């Protein structure tokens, strides 16, 4: 079903009026999800001004490796040069504007435009113009472009590659500092050698809803028992026997609800949201078939920290990147009511094939194209977008857990597991960027 796009003039309705915030109030107008002009402003003021995840280093490990990605609506190519340097290029020929690279990933010595065969090196330099010196070609006064536009900033944090079009953006390490960096570290620490690798081709899908629904949902601790009720019933009946591999622990709905009430959420001033829980049935891990693996990690990090490393952690790295269980997730805004989501399962380096296979089976069971979880979420996102057409009462309520929040010394806010602390952090950052025309700054 197609959803309605509501239009209004931004100069007549200030963007900051889309959020109502008070001591016990936090509400967001549905227009923030549905308006075309707001969507266009997000591309300018959010996606071009903040760090966007574009690749994992395992995807571009060798000279000549490349993958295509997006920064908001803008297509880019992530490349590894012959000197092993990383570049992120706007995927647009400087001649007539065609997309130069049409493959999702691969290895090449050069990029050749499909329109007139202008050729570029893997670092974006223009190295060949067909018919350059022909009588009908280009004259002596022709000013030859240098090559494809390079994205201003590219940084690699522990294998996670981010890019930003604004050269003045805050350093990536500072952008991720706090709960986001801790979550990334804990995901890597599940590997005895501190590394992951992406495996196989990603799962790519679209839904008829705004990109912010996915950003909010990946760290939403409130919806699981209700949106995924059919899966809860399946888990209660079959448990690990269908390949859960301990990811969604709980012998029954009551126990699952109790386990999901453990842990906390963290909201960052840069808009990141973290939802983390310690491992369920932790002591049993040292008696099971992978006890050697857990003992190895325990010796390295200690029992207290391992309980969190082996637990369940999810993150929304503002604005386009998520991690949950053994997957990376990237969402791409296509329009106010259309979003593409790419899911990358990953394997841990230094663990047994059996362990990685178990994690992959669990991923397929809940998150894969035929799994139980993704279809539930996509349906809800579409229902959310459809509901926005009812505008007489236009405010979405994001006030859960406000009374139990705790400000931390590092500027983050901590909430209880199903609190909407993470959502409020997202929207505060959204508001700051959209109203100040600024960037992610100190």
CATH number assigned to the domain covering 171-436: 3.90.380.10
Would you give per-residue pLDDT tens digits along the chain (442 residues)? 344 443 444 455 589 899 999 999 999 999 999 999 999 999 999 999 999 999 999 999 999 999 999 999 999 999 999 999 999 999 999 999 999 999 999 999 999 999 999 999 999 999 999 999 898 899 989 999 999 999 999 999 999 999 999 999 999 999 999 999 999 999 999 999 999 999 888 999 999 999 999 999 999 999 999 999 999 988 888 877 777 787 887 778 888 888 889 999 999 999 999 999 999 889 999 998 999 999 999 999 999 999 999 999 999 999 999 999 999 999 999 999 999 999 999 999 999 999 999 999 999 989 988 888 999 999 999 999 999 999 999 999 999 999 999 999 999 999 999 999 999 999 999 999 999 755 554 4
**CB atoms < 10 A from the CB of 46, how many?**
23
36-41 own/partner pairs: CB under 8 Å, 24+ apart:
36/5, 36/7, 36/335, 36/336, 37/7, 37/8, 37/9, 37/10, 38/10, 38/336, 38/434, 39/333, 39/335, 39/336, 41/10, 41/15, 41/434
111-120 own/partner pairs: CB under 8 Å, 24+ apart:
111/66, 111/77, 111/148, 118/93, 118/94, 120/89, 120/147, 120/148
- The model's pTM: 0.94
Q: Are strands 126-128 and 52-56 parallel, antiparallel or unpaired?
A: unpaired
Please enumerate in sequence order all residues whose Cβ is within 8 A of that of 136, keeping only pairs 6 or more positions apart, or say none: none
Q: Are strands 160-164 and 126-128 parallel, antiparallel or unpaired?
A: unpaired
Question: Taking Cα atoms as reference points, which of 146, 148, 168, 166 lies closest to residue 79?
Answer: 148
Q: 3-class SS at 437?
A: coil
Question: Taking Cα atoms as reference points, which of 308, 221, 265, 276 lies closest to residue 405?
Answer: 265
> How far apart, in whole angstroms, are the C-alpha atoms of residue 374 and residue 381?
11
**CB atoms < 10 A from the CB of 383, how many?**
14
Please enumerate in sequence order all residues whose Cβ is within 8 A of that of 372, keeping only pairs 6 or more positions apart, or say none: 228, 230, 231, 234, 365, 366
Tokens read off for 400: 């859960």
Beta bridge partners of 53: 162
pLDDT digits (tens, 9 = 90+) for 272-313: 999 999 998 899 999 989 999 999 999 999 999 999 999 999
CATH 3.90.380.10 placement within the chain = 171-436
Q: 3-class SS at 430?
A: helix
pLDDT digits (tens, 9 = 90+) for 129-154: 999 989 889 998 999 999 999 999 99
Rg from Cα positions in the chain: 23
Question: Taking Cα atoms as reference points, which of 421, 422, 419 lies closest to residue 272?
Answer: 422
Question: Taking Cα atoms as reference points, which of 265, 277, 262 lies closest to residue 414?
Answer: 265
The torsion angles phi and psi of 379, rounded to 5 degrees, stand at -60, -45
DSSP 8-state assignment for residue 46 = I
- 126-128, strands of its sheet edge to edge: 110-112, 119-121, 126-128
Q: Which fold has domain 52-154?
A: Rieske Iron-sulfur Protein (2.102.10)
CATH 2.102.10.10 placement within the chain = 52-154
């Amino acid at each position: 079903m197609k959803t309605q796009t509501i239009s209004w003039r931004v100069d007549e309705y200030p963007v900051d009026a889309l959020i109502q915030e008070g001591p016990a109030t936090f509400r967001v107008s549905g227009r923030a999800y549905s308006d075309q002009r707001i969507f266009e402003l997000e591309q300018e003021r959010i996606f071009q001004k903040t760090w966007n995840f574009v690749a994992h280093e395992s995807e571009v490990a060798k000279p000549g490796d490349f993958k295509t990605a997006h920064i908001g609506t803008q297509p880019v190519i992530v490349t590894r040069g012959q000197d092993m340097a990383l570049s992120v290029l706007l995927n647009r020929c400087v001649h007539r504007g065609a997309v130069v690279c049409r493959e999702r990933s691969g290895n090449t010595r050069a990029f050749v435009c499909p329109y007139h065969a202008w050729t570029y090196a893997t670092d974006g330099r223009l190295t060949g113009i067909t018919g350059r010196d022909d009588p009908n070609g280009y004259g002596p006064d022709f000013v030859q472009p240098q090559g494809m536009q390079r994205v201003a900033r590219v940084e690699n944090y522990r294998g996670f590659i981010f890019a930003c079009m604004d050269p003045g953006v805050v350093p990536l390490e500072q952008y991720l500092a706090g709960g986001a960096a801790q979550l990334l570290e804990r995901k890597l620490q599940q590997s005895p050698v501190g590394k992951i690798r992406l495996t196989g081709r990603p799962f790519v899908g679209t839904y008829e809803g705004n990109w912010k629904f996915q950003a909010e949902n990946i760290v939403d601790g409130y919806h699981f028992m209700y949106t995924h009720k059919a899966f809860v019933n399946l888990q209660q009946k079959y448990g690990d026997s269908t390949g859960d591999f301990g990811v969604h622990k709980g012998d029954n709905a009551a126990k699952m609800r109790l386990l999901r009430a453990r842990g906390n959420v963290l909201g960052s001033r840069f808009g990141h949201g973290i939802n983390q829980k310690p491992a369920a049935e932790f002591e049993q891990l040292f008696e099971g078939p992978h006890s050697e693996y857990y003992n190895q990690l325990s010796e390295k990090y200690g029992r207290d920290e391992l309980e969190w490393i082996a637990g369940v952690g999810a993150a929304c790295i503002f604005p386009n990147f998520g991690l949950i269980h053994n997957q990376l997730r990237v969402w791409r805004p296509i329009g106010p009511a259309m979003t593409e989501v790419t899911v990358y399962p990953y394997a841990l380096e230094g663990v047994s094939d059996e362990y990685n296979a178990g994690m992959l089976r669990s991923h397929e069971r809940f998150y894969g194209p035929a799994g139980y979880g993704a279809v539930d979420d996509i349906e809800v996102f579409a229902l959310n977008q459809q509901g926005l057409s009812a505008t007489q009462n236009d405010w979405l309520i994001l006030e859960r857990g406000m009374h139990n929040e705790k400000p931390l010394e590092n500027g983050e806010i901590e909430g209880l597991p199903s609190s909407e602390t993470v959502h409020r952090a997202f929207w505060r950052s959204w508001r700051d960027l959209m109203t100040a025309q600024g960037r992610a700054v100190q």
